[in-house]
Amino acid sequence: MGKDREGKIPMLKKINESEDILWLSFPALVKFDFLHQGLILKNKQETLFTNKNNLKKDLEKSLKIIAENNGPAIYSEQVHKNKSAVLASVNDIKKWDFNSKYDAFITNQKCVFLTVRVADCLPIYLIEPDAKAIGLIHAGWRSTILRIVENTLEQMYSTFKADIDKMICVIGPGLGKGCFEISEELAILFPPDCQVIENGSKPRLDLAQVNFKQLVKSGLKTKNISIISECTHCNPELYYSFRRSANKNQRMVAFIGLKG
């Protein structure tokens, strides 16, 4: 995976460097030329995005370099629940409360970046190209149990009349099924076919697969869902991992925005 073998297997990610910022973009989304999209990776500047007081400035500076424009970046306190914020007007953006508690965002507004911070949790990107509606989700195991993707899709439908048949989704890199050990108590809450169960070791969770199944249950076409099946824990050269990294504040930043 990840290799473009004569176009038969589409490349899953493209690594970019803009000034000193390392980030990846998703080839599955490149055809939508009205989008800015990607994930800012582990960076040379190790304190980037680590200080809450500098987060707004860090995000806007980085995104300006990557996307060469100057839209505001929306973010929230991430609380591992299932609430999705709706940004349906210029006013919603102007009056945004950065201390609010959300783990997902949806918008149809141009020139604004939706962002979530991740290190092992999954960034999930949603695009309905005809309605020009987009969503971004921060999905750890808690939000996944609370079915955050279903919630967000429902809001995209009710607010923007997004059509589930046209919905495109990318599930970004996160803690992989090789590394995501969970307790027996937690394992009961997830479908057995989304776990690796071996004698003598703890169950391990395929969190991307759980979200994939929820997306399909909500009506997404399987061909419209891409999973970047790379483990943040196993790829230290590109990714931060909360479980692996010594500095527990380091985060990557997933972003998506409609161009102006």
Which residues lie near Zn ion (CB under 5 A)?
176, 178-179, 231, 233-234
Judged by beta carbon, residue 140 or residue 176, the one nearer Zn ion is 176
Taking the complex as a whole, the smallest distance from the CB of residue 239 to Zn ion amounts, in Å, to: 10
Taking the complex as a whole, the smallest distance from the CB of residue 241 to Zn ion amounts, in Å, to: 8
Taking the complex as a whole, the smallest distance from the CB of residue 232 to Zn ion amounts, in Å, to: 7
Judged by beta carbon, residue 108 or residue 232, the one nearer Zn ion is 232
Taking the complex as a whole, the smallest distance from the CB of residue 259 to Zn ion amounts, in Å, to: 34
First to last CA, the chain: 33
Please list the residues that pair with 73 across neighbouring strands: 113
Judged by beta carbon, residue 81 or residue 177, the one nearer Zn ion is 177
What are all long-range contacts of 154-162, with beta carbons under 8 Å and residues at least 24 apart?
A: 154/218, 155/84, 155/86, 155/106, 156/106, 156/126, 156/128, 156/131, 159/86, 159/88, 159/106, 159/108, 159/133, 160/88, 160/106, 160/108, 160/128, 160/131, 160/133, 161/131, 162/128, 162/131, 162/133
CB 110 within 8 A of CB 248: no
Judged by beta carbon, residue 103 or residue 230, the one nearer Zn ion is 230
Judged by beta carbon, residue 119 or residue 134, the one nearer Zn ion is 119
Taking the complex as a whole, the smallest distance from the CB of residue 208 to Zn ion amounts, in Å, to: 12
